[in-house]
Amino acid sequence: MAIIFNGTTIDWEDPIRFNTDVIEEVYFNGTKVHGPSSSYLLLKSGGLAPDSNNLENLVTSLQNNYAYAFETYYYDIGPGGTGDSRWRYRLNRGYRMVTSDGTFYPGSLHYLWEGRTVTGANTSHNGGTSVRLERAIGV
């Protein structure tokens, strides 16, 4: 694929990667020439709670309705019903996961965790965790 900017052709392959991380945005002479906009559209929201099946319900919806947003996803623990569950995912370019524990972008492998007394996004703590899958406008 090529980007032509002011008569200069820049060849690259999509997705652009540095090591294993996907490069979301490309700038040329200070001008953004590739990448999603800074505005995002909410696709799915939910919340994780200790000792619940909220994660399983959320993951079922994500996999059934928004699988295109993910490069890969799988459970590496559970789902356990009354036990611990951890769902790992890697987002496709143009998507992000906004949680009360932080905002996660394509490239790295991330996880959502729900256990007997803990929850978390790329972490584990007491209490609940809010989760929103969002898509960049224009993707």
**Whether 57 and 123 share a structural domain:** yes
The pTM for the full model equals 0.72
* Exposure on the CB side of residue 28, measured as CA atoms within 13 A: 12
Tell me, what's the pLDDT at 137?
79
**Whether 46 and 67 share a structural domain:** yes
Pair of tokens at residue 44:
């799915």
The arrangement of strands across the sheet holding 110-114 comes to: 70-77, 85-91, 110-114, 118-121, 125-126
**Whether 109 and 57 share a structural domain:** yes
pLDDT digits (tens, 9 = 90+) for 42-85: 999 999 999 888 999 999 999 999 999 999 999 988 876 567 89
Q: Which residues pair with 34 in a beta bridge?
A: 26
**Whether 13 and 46 share a structural domain:** no
**Whether 24 and 81 share a structural domain:** no
**Whether 17 and 48 share a structural domain:** no
**Whether 113 and 132 share a structural domain:** yes
Q: Tell me the C-alpha to C-alpha distance, in Å, between residue 36 and each of 8, 89, 125, 127, 138.
A: 21, 20, 32, 33, 7
Provide the number of structural domains found in the chain: 2
Instruction: Check: CB of residue 128 under 8 Å from CB of residue 121.
Output: no
**Whether 79 and 99 share a structural domain:** yes
Mean pLDDT of the chain, nearest integer: 84
pLDDT digits (tens, 9 = 90+) for 23-43: 667 776 776 666 655 688 999
**What percentage of the chain carries pLDDT values higher than 90?**
50
Pair of tokens at residue 56:
């399983």
pLDDT at 89 exceeding the cut of 90: yes
